[in-house]
Chain A
């Protein structure tokens, strides 16, 4: 069945460092791919999405490109801030059944 695998955390970075959180998926068909974020004490919220191959989603300085050839959707940010400290979840929704599957989440700590 469909699945999402993301890098284990926690990831600890200093402010202004470059961030990459890896995400790979297994799915038949043409899923949409998402990154959701959960800030401390808050609910899950959409960070960005991409709905077809080679699409790039972007928001708040974060980017991720839908790579069908490598079945990946890695999250990147050029310069992280303390306020980016959160748990990041990669997810997909597939055309067969419209079920959304989440990865296990990656916790990011950014130090000042």
Chain B
């Protein structure tokens, strides 16, 4: 079974530029998550989708971050404009979605973003 795919793996941009990340979850997984992991910290949930609907985006900085999940499969996360403090690893994860409290989440390799 193929895992969660993310691209690109690395990205370096200047502040005020825009960037987009792509995620393809495991086939059949209804729930998709985007996390931000700053060096030395645990992952912080940015947004959670159930199929193509948003379940939680309370920690997404909506003035600069946006995300969509087209047709309930692939997802993109965009930052526009980027700030220095956005430098982090952006993780995508997916889960079956049958029990959102106890489901195991499967993580992709992440995209390491450096904003200079």
Chain A interfacial positions (CB closer than 8 Å to B) = 4, 31-32, 34, 36, 42-46, 49, 51, 89, 91, 93-95, 97-105
Contact = CB atoms under 8 A, between A and B. Distances in A.
A98 B41 contact: no
A104 B108 CA distance: 19
Interface string B1-24: 001100000000000000000000
B43 to A, nearest CB: 5
B interface secondary structure, majority: loop
Contacts of B110: 43
5 contacts: A36-B107, A44-B93, A100-B45, A101-B45, A105-B42
Contact of A97 (B4, B44, B56, B103): B56
Contacts of A44: 43, 91, 93, 105, 107
A101 B106 CA distance: 15
B31 to A, nearest CB: 8
Given A97-B56, A99-B56, A100-B33, A46 B42 contact: no
A104 B40 CA distance: 7
Nearest to A31: B101
